[in-house]
């Protein structure tokens, strides 16, 4: 999209219908989704995490297009609705990328629109995305991930302090933090011999000022990507429009991010899936998206490993794979943290679902991304499971069978007071060698053996 066309879309933020946020939620989201769920008779079986219903995928796609056409997107900065025509929505669908090269030189990696039960391996986009991380742990965590041979692309958490000062959004600390983040990322990649690897970064940029501060050849390169977020549900703000506009001349890639709430305004899994699909269709236009991140959040369980979130990712990936091929990258945010077997079970289940349904793997935000309790070891498992499942051409039926067994091993954590948050990175890894402590390594090996017995051919 050229600058003139994008500015015309953004101008609708000032000319569109003005409504309150409460009215948007009630009249535009809740009512519209309820009507569409009734119209298409959407429902789900909690024992079928991975449906194989072609009619469901076609109906979901049509429902999402109807929703976006009827509602548009709400700009909460101006309290006005940005509407799209049917022709614009269809043009956005036609223009979705099916190939995208990230990184440069020998380390470049090409993302593709994967198919259902695709034997092509999913991308392993690894790190602890969005996780608030103290500076003392920031580089060790990144290094623990970057050194894993199984990864293809790198992401990271957000710095909560720099040089002993807490990071505050919109203040000088944010600018220093986001630039420091990129310095650590490039240092890690150089140290492991993969300096050209592509990034999803500037995670420390809470505001558009931080994002703009990252955009230069020494830090967030044109071959890297940043986030253009949409808020719950179908909401944008001027700050994210600025982030998108910045990419027009500079050329860095835009990752749309929608975090639809399962059990929230869209209702249970089917309704929230419609909202997530509509959000991605909107992001084709308003976020200038080059690829899409799918990050459902369960209203009670939070984690992407909750049944409703797994079902959403399974249906969304298959819907795009069958109706309109696109590059879909699914976030993994387990409830459990390092030094717990449940973390590894959650990672395996989520990786299986996304892989067999046509998505790529990104993450992972251990302990629901709330604490620096993630390590490179569970990232290794994410990559090994995803690539093994693709190589062996696992069917959706077999995948569903394994995932149900894994759910039995970890669903209890959603009722635990702390969500089974595990331990901090420096308790799970030796801080001098940046290798897992023996107990954590043993847990990984035991769970991998269990997964082999279930049918994953490593």
Residue 426 scores a pLDDT above 90 = yes
Query: For the CA atoms of 118, 63, 231, 322, what is the dihedral angle to 10 degrees?
Result: 10
Using the predicted structure, report yes or no on whether residue 417 has a pLDDT greater than 90. no
**Could you give the CA distance from residue 262 to residue 307 in angstroms, rounded to a whole number?**
10
pTM, whole model, 2 decimals? 0.97
End-to-end CA distance of the chain: 43
CB-based burial label for 322 (10 Å; 0-12, 13-18, 19+): middle
How high is the pLDDT of residue 419?
Answer: 85
Confidence band of 58 (pLDDT split at 50, 70, 90): very high
Average pLDDT over residues 36-58: 98
Residue 193 φ then ψ, to 5°: 80, 25
Cα within 13 Å of Cα(413), Cβ side: 29
pLDDT in tens, 74-119: 999 999 999 999 999 999 999 999 999 999 999 999 999 999 999 9
| Token reading at 432 | 């001098």
Q: How is the chain split among helix, strand and coil, in percent rounded to 5?
A: 50, 15, 35
Instruction: Name the average pLDDT for the chain.
Output: 97
Residue 347 is given by DSSP the state: H
pLDDT band at 251 (very low <50, low <70, confident <90, very high): confident
Q: Give the pairing type, strands 99-102 and 124-126.
A: unpaired
pLDDT of residue 16: 97
**Domains, the chain, ranges and CATH?**
99-454 (3.20.20.460)
Phi then psi dihedrals of residue 10, to 5 deg: -65, -30
Q: Are 13 and 77 in contact (CB under 8 A)?
A: yes
């Amino acid at each position: 999209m050229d600058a003139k066309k994008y500015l015309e879309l953004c101008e609708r933020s000032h000319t569109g219908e003005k409504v309150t946020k409460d009215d948007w939620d009630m009249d535009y989201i809740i009512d519209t989704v309820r009507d569409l769920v009734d119209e298409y008779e959407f429902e789900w079986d909690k024992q079928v995490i991975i449906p194989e219903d072609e009619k469901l995928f076609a109906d979901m796609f049509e429902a999402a297009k109807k929703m976006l056409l009827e509602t548009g997107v709400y700009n909460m900065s101006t309290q006005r609705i940005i509407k799209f025509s049917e022709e614009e929505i269809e043009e956005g669908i036609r223009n979705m990328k099916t190939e995208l090269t990230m990184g440069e030189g020998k380390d470049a990696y090409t993302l593709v629109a994967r198919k259902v039960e695709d034997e092509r391996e999913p991308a392993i986009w690894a790190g602890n995305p969005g996780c608030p991380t103290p500076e003392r742990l920031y580089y060790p965590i990144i290094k623990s991930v970057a050194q894993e041979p199984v990864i293809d692309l790198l992401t990271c958490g957000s710095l909560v302090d720099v040089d002993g000062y807490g990071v505050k959004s919109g203040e000088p600390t944010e600018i220093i933090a986001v630039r420091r983040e990129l310095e650590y990322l490039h240092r890690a990649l150089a140290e492991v011999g993969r300096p050209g690897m592509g990034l999803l970064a500037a995670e420390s940029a809470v505001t558009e000022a931080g994002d703009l501060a990252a955009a230069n050849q020494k830090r967030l390169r044109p071959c890297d990507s940043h986030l253009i977020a949409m808020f719950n549900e179908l909401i944008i703000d001027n700050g994210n429009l600025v982030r998108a506009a910045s990419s027009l001349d500079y050329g860095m890639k835009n990752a749309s991010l929608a975090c639809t709430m399962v059990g929230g305004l869209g209702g249970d899994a089917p309704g929230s899936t419609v909202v997530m699909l509509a959000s991605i269709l909107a992001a084709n236009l308003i976020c200038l998206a080059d690829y899409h991140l799918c990050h459902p959040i369960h209203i009670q369980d939070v984690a992407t490993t909750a049944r409703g979130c797994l079902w959403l990712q399974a249906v969304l990936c298959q819907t795009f794979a069958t109706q309109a091929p696109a590059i879909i990258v699914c976030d993994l945010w387990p409830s459990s943290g390092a030094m717990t077997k449940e973390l590894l079970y959650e990672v395996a289940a989520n990786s299986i679902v996304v892989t067999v349904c046509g998505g790529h793997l990104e993450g992972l935000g251990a302990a629901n991304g709330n604490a620096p309790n993630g390590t490179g070891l569970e990232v290794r498992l994410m990559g090994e499971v995803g690539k093994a499942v693709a190589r062996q051409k696992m069917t959706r039926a077999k995948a569903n069978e394994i995932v149900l067994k894994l759910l039995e091993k970890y669903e209890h954590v959603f009722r635990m007071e702390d969500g089974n948050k595990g331990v901090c990175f420096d308790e799970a890894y030796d801080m001098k060698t940046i290798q897992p402590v023996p107990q954590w390594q043993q847990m990984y090996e035991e769970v991998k053996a269990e997964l082999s017995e279930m049918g994953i051919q490593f």
